[in-house]
Structure 1
């Protein structure tokens, strides 16, 4: 999909000041081109809820009126009316600021591409048990087989490496791709090919993980590499993924496309990790609608008043408004937020250039939220599949429409290989689909295994669920496998018994919260998915890639003997 300007009725003007000042609206040079909404001037009194004295003070101070951008104001209303899942999809489609997400540890042995994830090599790394009693020996309920049925592949995680993109290397040729590695780029006249490849991969991975990179932000060290290789990166992102890359003097913006309905990446509070609500998204779009043409120095109270005046029907709780402003501060659209929001004298520093860089989707062209989500994900089959490979942990053929499934089947080797070479990833091909792995565990926002209570509990949960419901050799393996609801509770009970409640495992004191958040994490990683029928609580299905995190099947395993497991005679009923 060709990326569109965010505003209704835009005109293109030169941005920034020639003196190169580092303030919000003055960062940049005359060659930076921005989209500025053409909106009729609105008197200050019409956009403010201040009293007569405050309005007079604003006029005397020469402050311009805050007029909302109509496209973003419309988007704010779509967010407010959306259901939580749809609001996440809408954020993904309209902002495209989500990070890539990949599995890390490769399987411990190579496997034929026709081998199922259920029975192939694993990347299992056993957790260290902290309980007072050893866990009784047990094994998969349904994976019993004789020695001749399937070769046993013992588990064992591959030792971690520093990542191929971190060191000089020679790249494999990509079939059908133009070799531009030896062409001259600005500032790379004497850079060896190996170092050139490594630099380009670092820059590409940084943009895929953080689509908005600034020269003064947390990833400033990588910004010079992006600028140095911007021409090559622009061509590669456009050719492989259909993404537009804009690199200016002070920021780089990779405009990602949407991922379609149900494949969203929810936005979270940068400090607490709390997920955005539809009202929080609405406040974010509303604030952006005012900031794209705001003055460089803006009183905090004036912004809040202008938000209320622009959309009085979008009133939100203070926490939701604070969440939206925290995200804008994290993206450096706003400077430091005041400690006391009630302090009317607090001033905000506004970077209009970054505010205009945040929207990536075309709200002005869409009829409604559903149409915007569809438009943002619309692409020809090759581009659509490559986007999924680059952004998601695994691509299963069963999840794709027929045209995309046909493309993946025809380009099963070359398609993933081109992206793997571009980003320094490793392709894992299985009967059900493809996963691009990042052994460096950098190109992902969620890691499994990971540090902390929740990732550890989720890892134990998925490992034991696979042991219990893994299909037998010879059974159909292409689809998802239902998980008995009682089994989830039983496994979590076993985990609680075996691990007790040591420091750091406070989650286990609240089994309901543990169940909810562990399944949510596994769902976001594509290892489980809700059953199609709508139930409360939802029934769950185990997905084939989950088996890569469980031990390989053992011969004639003992039945489950955990206190919360079903007796052996019930398991075979």
Structure 2
């Protein structure tokens, strides 16, 4: 390995903290590294040399060559970049093979561990408040306050595509925020941020503005770990650069994440979430999920782009991918390889590639690609994408495990920051003990950093975002699958919720027949009046699949353990927050299947009267 690196002029990029002790995505993870070839530094016109967190900490990949330099300025006798042989990065090439051999669920976990570009995911609607104190952690989600909305689903204004809405702010505390809104006007649909302390006095105006800017920048990075100066979130990039030192320190202290801020991009190196995290990469336009083959094409393309020329012919990239790994390489035409089309689309969405040819912008191009098409490559961004490469891992499972390793407090805070809910039953013993000892102070510090609210229950903790911005999935949502999922989970909770006093864990089994029956009733009752998609109404199997998938990704249901017969689903305790509040003292029913109150004595029926004379007995 060392001889190979010496022969190719490779440099090791530590995936972790700047002290070089750890790797993966930040402090507390293992020391996996990425092997990339060094190149000349990229000068920035009129800018001073970058220092501190502006440059990668520790040994790392050098920035790409300056794109403004014309080809004619190259030294005499040097080969043209277009004539250079594309050589794949060995670590990313190995990753591509692991992707190709993985099953879909393992491929999703491997993507989160090796790229770390997943967004945060949180519940939005808060439940009714619970009295503060130790009693708050004794209330169960099954029987506690709910966030149920009794109104039937109805169409709402769709959320802006691509991430966070404009930051909500207190006009008195924040006179100026670079968000694109008109100066001095918060917007008629913007609610001011609820104050968490005493009213801001004029002398604290600057301090409040600074705190709000830092929170906006932190939320943007958690939602979008790769932010560029010319991308869709460019208005927040100046805030990240302005507070980069403070953000780098807080991310490292609370989450063990490494933040790298350069002149043109900011990269938050997130850690993996471990196996079964239900995080997957999707096509940026169609939303189609990546397959193991799509992940393999993405890693293989990155393996070549980290050292590719800035102007790269498409046919040359395809030939290099085929030569680098014939087992996962694409076909001669991108139209014959949908996985390659998805990989190039997401690379263009990350701005690693410039504008794609028209036939590559569609989901499944029908026309053959132009062999003379030229791709614009940003090598600096290509090198910023991988965070947990497999240089020291034995296989895919080992990489997933290594990327999620951290000290107990850091590991729990990562789960709180990235996932909708953290249940104590899902944690190993050391992390469960930390959550039990720091159940109030630990989540509170993270909630204040990201502008979230803590919801503590007997089963675990959830950090809520009432603004419904810091999440990639919305529940309640506006589309058919989201509306059906919300109604489904509401009725399932009413059917299988344990009674008070029953000894049960955070999960309750749900029969498949109950899911089918409830979903059928919901579709018949709400489908046409609510304007649901006719394709779902005609294909109930697809409606069931997508509704259950959304509930699973939000942590409200989970598949039954492997080997369970028959296989099915388990309803999780946080699902009860979307159901009506339980009637803990129901009125005694009169039906033959209803429960009777033991304190109510039902008199025995009176004996029939004796028949009168002349009447039949």
Q: What do the CA deviations read for 1:384-418 (whole angstroms, capped 9, x no partner)?
A: 00000100001000110000000000001100000
**Per-residue deviation, 1:508:** 2.0
Task: State whether structure 2 residue 381 is matched by structure 1 residue 367.
Answer: no
Aligned to 2:258: 244
DSSP-derived class of the 2:146 partner: coil
DSSP-derived class of the 2:83 partner: coil
**Per-residue deviation, 1:362:** 3.2
1:230 to 1:60, Cα distance in 2 relative to 1, 3 A: closer
Task: State whether structure 2 residue 236 is matched by structure 1 residue 222.
Answer: yes
Task: State whether structure 2 residue 161 is matched by structure 1 residue 126.
Answer: no
Task: Say which structure, 1 or 2, has more relative contact order (CA 8 Å, 6+ apart).
Answer: 1
- Find 2:484's aligned residue among 438, 448, 457: 457
Aligned to 1:325: 344
CA distance in structure 2 between the aligned counterparts of 1:415 and 1:194, rounded to whole angstroms: 23
CA distance in structure 2 between the aligned counterparts of 1:347 and 1:370, rounded to whole angstroms: 37
1:432 to 1:164, Cα distance in 2 relative to 1, 3 A: farther
**Per-residue deviation, 1:345:** 1.3
- Find 1:508's aligned residue among 537, 544, 547: 537
Task: State whether structure 2 residue 53 is matched by structure 1 residue 19.
Answer: no
CA distance in structure 1 between the aligned counterparts of 2:349 and 2:46, rounded to whole angstroms: 23
CA distance in structure 2 between the aligned counterparts of 1:20 and 1:287, rounded to whole angstroms: 33
**Per-residue deviation, 1:6:** 7.3
- Find 1:203's aligned residue among 194, 217, 220: 217
Aligned to 1:179: none
Q: How does 1:44-443 map to 2 (within 5 A)?
A: 63-111=83-131, 112-128=136-152, 168=173, 192-316=206-330, 318-340=337-359, 342-443=369-470
- Find 1:541's aligned residue among 570, 584, 594: 570
1:28 to 1:262, Cα distance in 2 relative to 1, 3 A: farther
Whichever of the two has the greater Rg, that structure is 2
Aligned partners of 2:537 and 2:543 also within 8 Å = yes
Per the normalisation by structure 2, the TM-score is: 0.75
1:129 to 1:286, Cα distance in 2 relative to 1, 3 A: closer
Q: What do the CA deviations read for 1:501-550 (whole angstroms, capped 9, x no partner)?
A: 35433212211111111011000000000110346984000000000000
DSSP-derived class of the 2:266 partner: strand
What runs of 5+ residues in structure 2 fail to find an aligned partner?
1-15, 17-21, 25-30, 63-78, 155-164, 174-192, 198-202, 331-335, 361-368, 597-617
1:337 to 1:287, Cα distance in 2 relative to 1, 3 A: same
Aligned partners of 1:163 and 1:439 also within 8 Å = no
Aligned partners of 2:416 and 2:443 also within 8 Å = yes
How many aligned positions are there? Answer: 495
1:497 to 1:11, Cα distance in 2 relative to 1, 3 A: closer
**Per-residue deviation, 1:32:** 4.0
What runs of 5+ residues in structure 1 fail to find an aligned partner?
22-26, 38-58, 131-160, 174-188, 560-566
**Per-residue deviation, 1:129:** 6.4
